[in-house]
A = this chain, B = another copy of it.
Amino acid sequence: MSARAGIVVTGTEVLTGRVQDRNGPWLADRLLELGVDLAHITLCGDRPADIDAQLRFLAGQDLDLIITSGGLGPTADDMTVERVARFCGRELVLDTALEARINDIVTGLMARFPGVDAAAVRDANRKQALVPAGATVLDPVGTAPGVVVPGTPEVGPTIVVLPGPPRELQPMWSAAVATDAVRAAIAGRTEFRQETVRMFGLPESGLADTLRDAERDVTGFDRLEITTCLRRGELEIVTRFEPQDAAAYSELLAVLRDRHGREIYSEDGSSVDEQVAGLLTGRRLAVAESCTAGLLTARLTDRPGSSAYVAGGVAAYSNGAKTELLGVASGLIERFGAVSEPVAEAMAAGALQRFGADTAVAITGIAGPGGGTEDKPVGTVCFTVALAEDGSSARMLTRTSVLPGGRSDVRERSTTVAMHMLRRALLGEG
């Protein structure tokens, strides 16, 4: 029997759907990795009675761990630490060292807002230095510290209190897991292994078919917990199993490789972005985008260190820009249309030349909602990858796809198609 956990997500903006909760799913993944069984997620607004009710509910569900997110800011609607302290019957104590640390952080931030009364701001932030007696403080990543309140037989589970912004919550979760209180709470867990296979270019129903055959042929298939997920146009297969069932997973993997060798691009959890970054080492990439208008360049430069291999990109949204900035002959656009393979190739050639690059990607397509025709419906996108070898003329790989979905889907999916074309071209797989 593994340890059991519940998550309380607070915040009226999350409850009402104005802000999408990203912490529940992220924490769910972390608990899965730890082999902790997640039983409940509850969401409520910034109201004391509703927060109290959810804590009471979860404490009665035979859980080892409760994690809360949100409500740690300086405003009056931030009240999670106070409610948790009250629930656990612990007094709030001012942690003066913590107060000094928050003051330092806030004073630094205030330098950018000269009109604001720094003393009043420090008062507002003092509240964030109040800690339940006996709790462990988690150092703030923003200005808000978290706390871990150890479980007791009377109150129930250990409670981890984390801030709402994901970029603060995520690093603080690692600190929380390292505390004695959390380690003790989840000590009864079963160890699990989790493996991820990623594919591109296979429909979900094709995989379903393969998995049905695997169910018949793989010994111990029923002890593998397999979940499949279609994400960003890629298929992800996550398998969770106890270490003694590793042989069953190996058999499953062999079936997948046998049937879908070309579509599998990752067996170690690596993303296509990571793989492309590695393959671009020592190269110099330029991007030419029309319908995606910067999205692929932004994706490629999202990685630290990408300036070593990304020279830049042109978002040539108008035909004039294609001609002026990428040297696409206007006659080519007139003859074949802006969304055409010859124009994609000319854009890639222009990007190579203008940026002095040896590798280029070009995308031109119709993202919609308008602009589609019978010949070229919305979702039609032409891609070219160009690789210049040893000063000779470039090798060009070009394809056209019709991508499903609305405007953002087509734009987003186009970047994924381009990443996979780039990966295969750089691997010499065409």
- Which residues of A in the span 215-245 have a Cβ within 8 Å of any Cβ on B? 215, 225-231, 236, 238
**Residue from the list B32, B117, B320 in contact with A311, Cβ < 8 A:** B320
| Stretch in contact with the other chain, from A50-58, A88-96, A147-155, A273-281 | A50-58
- Which residues of A in the span 36-52 have a Cβ within 8 Å of any Cβ on B? 38-47, 50
- A121 and B312 form a contact (CB under 8 A): no
A1 at the interface (CB under 8 A from B): no
- Which residues of A in the span 1-38 have a Cβ within 8 Å of any Cβ on B? 11-13, 15-20, 24-26, 28-29, 32, 38
Interface of A is mostly: mixed
What is the bound-complex CA distance between A167 and B408, given in angstroms? Answer: 10
- Which residues of A in the span 56-80 have a Cβ within 8 Å of any Cβ on B? 57, 61, 73-77
A157 at the interface (CB under 8 A from B): no
A174 at the interface (CB under 8 A from B): no
A430 at the interface (CB under 8 A from B): no
Q: Taking the full assembly, how many copies of this chain does it contain?
A: 2
Please, how many residues of chain A have a CB less than 8 angstroms from a CB on the other chain?
113
- A121 and B203 form a contact (CB under 8 A): yes
- A313 and B294 form a contact (CB under 8 A): yes
- A228 and B77 form a contact (CB under 8 A): yes
A202 at the interface (CB under 8 A from B): yes
- B109 and A203 form a contact (CB under 8 A): yes
What is the bound-complex CA distance between A77 and B226, given in angstroms? Answer: 8
Residues of B within 8 A of A76 (CB): 208, 211-212, 215
A-B contact pairs, 17 of them (CB 8 A): A15-B40, A17-B24, A38-B45, A39-B45, A40-B42, A41-B44, A50-B61, A75-B211, A75-B228, A76-B208, A117-B206, A117-B209, A121-B206, A293-B297, A294-B295, A304-B370, A324-B356
Task: List residues of chain A with CB under 8 Å of any chain B CB.
Answer: 11-13, 15-20, 24-26, 28-29, 32, 38-47, 50, 53-54, 57, 61, 73-77, 106, 109-110, 112-113, 116-117, 120-121, 124-125, 165, 167, 201-209, 211-212, 215, 225-231, 236, 238, 287, 289, 292-298, 300-302, 304-307, 310-318, 320-321, 324-325, 354-356, 368-370, 401-402, 404-409, 411
